[in-house]
């Protein structure tokens, strides 16, 4: 039975390509599934053989540990810059998000105003 060795949801393409290359380099046969059109399926990298799946998990864990050691922590200012950049790139989405927040707050606080 196939075993999931790496989830691809919210994974950058560069990282996913590195994992694919790592598995191919160590001659581990794998296949991928996509999340589908509505993003409700499991997007991931799967291995059919249990022994190869265990080896793949070890390799991926080592790769992830190396990535974590090399990553720099995100500060509040970095998060704010990213959020503002996203808002500038997607103004309609940003406006609808603000409207949704205002509606939820309004409906939540409405009983207390009466």
- Which CATH architecture group holds 3-70? 2-Layer Sandwich (3.30)
Residue 9 in tokens:
């949801």
**pLDDT the model gives residue 39:** 85
CB 43 within 8 Å of CB 9: yes
HEC string of the chain?
CCEEEEECCCCCHHHHHHHHHHHHHCCCCCEEECCCCCCCCCCEEEECCHHHHHHHHHHHHHHHHHHHHHCCCCCHHHHHHHHHHHHHHCHHHHHHHHHHHHHHHHHHHHHHHC
- Alpha carbons within 13 angstroms on the beta-carbon side of residue 79 total 4
Residue 68 in tokens:
């974590």
Is the pTM higher than 0.85? The answer reads: no
Q: Where are the domains of the chain?
A: 3-70, 76-113
Mean pLDDT by runs of 10 across the 114 residues of the chain is 94 96 96 91 95 96 94 89 92 95 94 83
């Amino acid at each position: 039975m196939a075993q999931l060795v790496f989830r691809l949801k919210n994974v950058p393409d560069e990282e996913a390509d590195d994992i694919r290359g790592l598995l191919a380099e160590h001659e581990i046969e794998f296949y991928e599934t996509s999340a589908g059109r509505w993003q409700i399926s499991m997007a991931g990298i799967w291995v059919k053989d249990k022994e190869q799946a265990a080896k793949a998990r070890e390799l991926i864990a080592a790769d992830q540990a190396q990535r974590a050691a090399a990553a720099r922590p995100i500060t509040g200012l970095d998060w704010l810059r990213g959020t503002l950049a996203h808002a500038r790139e997607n103004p309609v989405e940003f406006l609808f998000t603000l409207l949704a927040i205002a509606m939820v707050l309004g409906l939540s606080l409405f009983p207390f105003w009466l």
